[in-house]
Amino acid sequence: MSGTGPLLLVGGAEWQEGCGFDAELLEEAGRPEVLVLPTAAAYEHPDRAVETAQRWFASIGGRARGLSVLRRPDAEDEAMAAEVRAARFIYLGGGSPLHLRSVLKDSPVWNALVEAWQDGAIVAGSSAGAMVLTDPMVDPRGGAFTVGLGLVEQVAVIPHFDTWSHEKVTRTLDLAPTGLPLVGVEERTGIIRGTNGAWRAAGSGKVSVFVDGEPAGLDVLP
């Protein structure tokens, strides 16, 4: 994975106070524009998600632009894929991780995102966006595991970790494959994988890492 751009996985409540890491990455991108894919919010007012991102990034000296990749035909559109490929900061917002996965999997838009990241672009995902970027992925329907898109492999994320029930967390920990690092990320908090491959936590909340049900550190992440 050497040569890839930074990767940001956010626990939710994105694009608001407490998410100072966005300003850091905006500066690192070297370009003031963020391309927002509201795919996961296709059935939950995706336009509002983009407007929230626009207000937030304007407040920290940047600008956000939405790309309406909402259905599978959008993800197959070569013109949209070209926009993703050209972006230097790509952000997948929250919503339904299962819809996001089904729209992007093995599509030209997804391939363009991977190519952009491998060429040094920043890729960020919050909540559903963070979940699908890993493989395996936590299934939000019951806390078990399913297949993710696998931008990073052998790690899984539990977003909104500060609001998950104890029972659901326990179930997910119990069902985690042996040796799999599981990262609970609170809202307005992120984990960032730098270009050097090292992970760090940022934001206003906490990050909890588990392997085989036991606490661990960010150094166990791939």
| Model pLDDT for residues 147-196, shown as the tens digit of each residue | 999 999 999 999 999 998 888 889 999 999 999 999 999 999 999 999 99
Length of the chain: 222
State the average pLDDT for the chain: 96
Query: In this structure, what token pair is assigned to residue 145?
Result: 């595991």
Number of domains comprising the chain: 1
Residue 2 covered by a domain = no
- Classified as helix, coil or strand, 205 is coil
> Mean of the pLDDT values across residues 20-43?
96
Structure tokens at 99: 């819809």
1 pLDDT tier (thresholds 50, 70, 90): very low
The residue range of the domain holding 41 is: 7-220
Mean pLDDT of 52-71: 98
Three-state DSSP string of 77-130: CHHHHHHHHHCCEEEECCCCHHHHHHHHCCCHHHHHHHHHHHCCCEEEEECHHH
**For position 142, what pLDDT does the model report?**
81
Q: Would you say residue 181 lies in a domain? A: yes
Task: Classify residue 118: in a domain, yes or no.
Answer: yes
Residue 7 has pLDDT above 90, yes or no: yes
Calculate mean pLDDT across residues 2-30.
94
Tokens standing for residue 175: 């069902």
Q: Is residue 202 part of a domain?
A: yes
Q: What is the mean pLDDT of residues 35-56?
A: 97
Element (H, E) at 222: none
Position 1 in a domain: no
Q: Is pLDDT of 2 > 80?
A: no
Mean pLDDT, rounded, for 72-84: 98
- For position 3, what pLDDT does the model report? 67
Q: What is the per-residue pLDDT across 111-156, written as a single tens digit (0 to 9) for each?
A: 999 999 999 999 999 999 999 999 999 998 888 899 999 999 999 9
Report yes or no on 48 lying in a domain. Answer: yes
Residue 180 included in any domain: yes
Tell me what pLDDT residue 164 has.
87
* Residues ≥6 apart with Cβ < 8 Å to 68: 38, 46, 74
63: helix, coil or strand?
A: strand
* 79 Cβ contact partners less than 8 Å away, ≥ 6 residues apart: none
* Assessment of whether the complete model's pTM goes beyond 0.85: yes
pLDDT, average across residues 14-20: 97
The CATH number assigned to the domain holding 144 equals: 3.40.50.880
